[in-house]
Chain A
Amino acid sequence: MLETGVTVRDPGPDDAVLGMLPRRVALPESVEEVAEVLRACARDDLAVVPVGGGTKLHWGPPPERFDVLLDLCCLNRVVEHAAGDLVVRAQAGVTMGALAGALAAEGQELALDAPFPDATVGGTLATAVAGPRAFRYGTARDLLIGVTVVLADGTVARSGGKVVKNVAGYDLGKLFTGSHGTLGVIAEAAFRLHPLPADRRWIVAVADPPGMAERGPCRVRELAATLAASQAEPSAVELDWPHGQGPIWMSVLVEGAAAAQRAEALAALMGDALRSVRAEPPPQWGAIVRDEVLAEVRFRPSRLTGVLDAVHYSGFSLRGSAVSGRMWLELWDDPGEDKTVTALRGLRERLTALGARMTVLATPYEGVDRWGEVSSLPLMRRVKEQFDPGRRMSPGRFAGGL
């Protein structure tokens, strides 16, 4: 099995995906080796799960079948950092932390906040996680300008390039971003970069949750809307509501020239909310704290109050961007399968009624409807059938069992 020149080892307990162990772990060291492994898997009809830092490997349901864990840790070169062009090319296994370090040396950054520092470029793309600054810079797909992927049959394909502006051909990068390893393997990626901001300031404030009538109605939405519309241009407006109870913490990031003055100007807009301006990020800024049970809520920012109402006393902690309408629901104290399944069902119902979308990214419980209705699912199935007709790439791990 897997008789190629590529390094292969037997699996250990750390290689399990939701309790399932692969038969082999392959450790390719180049794009060509990735292709070689996938060709061999195609020959023997072996199912493959690619992995980078392994930080989100337990997200999604377990694979339908699982033969080979394709560990991209050895594809860890920053291939090219063209600082004058504000462009970087990196292999999939480079960690976001290492990449940030390399870029910072030239005064630049990839304006993509990874919730886990050990996450790799490939994993960050494959899961399309977004952080606080997506409000200003967009998400992974917005910063990705080129990609090299390896398909289930070993075909190596590129799309985009290493220039910021490029509309030649279909954008495979966007298609693979957020595909959770079900279309093929992201082997290399090129991103547009930004200069490191000259300065940064955070405003940290406390606001009351909804329903605390004696101090007036919940002002969080109003505050967030004011900040979002401000011409002082905050880069992020984050909420942190532990357990969906008690005070709501709001953190606002201001970046760039004159950040301090702009932060003061923004703080002044926040009325009587308790607040302070600081030069350091608040604790757990942009991080995912717990992800045994993790959901993502997407909503129109004007519906924020409704979202808060839905989450209040649900037992879930709500963290994320009030202005992009993208937040995490984290369960910090798991009350067990039945209660969690019921709570998630209730949340989906209430959120769907608001026109919001809840996707359960991680849960150990099978009874959970992870994705809800997806109107374009038939088209997605056809895409999957084209790219991976043998269903060998992370089979069953994605929306609608893709």
Chain B
Amino acid sequence: MDPKLINDCVHCGFCLPTCPTYVLWGEEMDSPRGRIHLMKQHVEGTPVTPEMAGHFDACLGCMACVTACPSGVRYDRLIEQTRAEVERTHVRDPRDRAVRGLVFGLFPYPRRLRLLRPGLGIARRLAPFLARAHPGLGAMAGLAPEVARRQRLPRLVRARGPRRAVVGMLTGCVQGEFFPQVNAATARVLALEGCDVIVPAGQGCCGALSVHSGRRDQARRLARRTVRAFRKAGVETVVVNAAGCGSTMKEYGDLLGEEPGFRVVDLSEWLAELGPAAERHPLPVTVAYHDACHLAHAQGVRAQPRELLRGIPGLELREVPDSAVCCGSAGTYNIFEPEAARDLGDRKAKAVGSTGAELLVSANPGCTMQIAAAMRREGAAIRVAHTAEVLDASLRGVGL
């Protein structure tokens, strides 16, 4: 943990209202300011106590505090460094260790995930029993989505009409396996907007889950493979449709110590930059747009997805109250901190419900899984979609 980064914090407290755990519990040590204070204590010689580790683990890594901070504190870096330190020095409870091992041995590996697919329906039914073994297992099972049929994307999707650009596309691990329809929609939208889309094989997991949990070595291994795949494909721009992946890939320079050699952009960022070319067909639907933390806070992408959605005739966009506060999904958070994640999910579900929108749109699969599950619990199921799917429906003139 870099003491210089720690000292940037002037203790003003502007981060507090944006921090999901502070919003939940109202306690200093579960706020960004408090966690930085804990880091400072550690740097000054206090060993990582179980209490301390607990407060770090409780951080969702949503980075809302980074957006809110007027002093420019790099909490994102600090918490990553801290997590690595906790992983290195802190011995966890054996059951926690087992669940963490399971998750990190599973999620970053698309092929292992694929083996899990047929079991998802059963898993959801088993959730209450799994929860008794470990709350995290229950949460993991309860979130499991209905999976669309797997669609393999071709290596190259040609631009429709005049070609305006050539881009690479990240398929991701969770996105690719659990939400293949989102990747298909992304590729179609890019093509319809005049992009040649290159989908290199062997790109694997980008390393985001591992980075966010302090497993930097695993992250580096995964990242190198991803970089290699896109370099080989020779693209200058890589379009990413999952917020968590995008934010990690934009920081590859820091992770790997060298720039990857291509530019990473979020899908909405790219499309807004490119400007609309294809015709938008009307889509009469009310939409609540949810800011995925890793898009809004980590990448600062807020206006572009809204702009794209507003550009669809007939679509009515509604703002979600307290949109800056995380939904509780936060990568693997809903697995490791199921109770807090559930409370945050419930809050978000209420906020989304208050808009009265028919469709919830977000740029992150974790968020949509989390909020949809929370809304199901409330008995107010809502349809969910990725920004790409909404655009895809409008561009193709089909229903959602």
Q: Do chains A and B touch in the complex (CB under 8 A)?
A: no
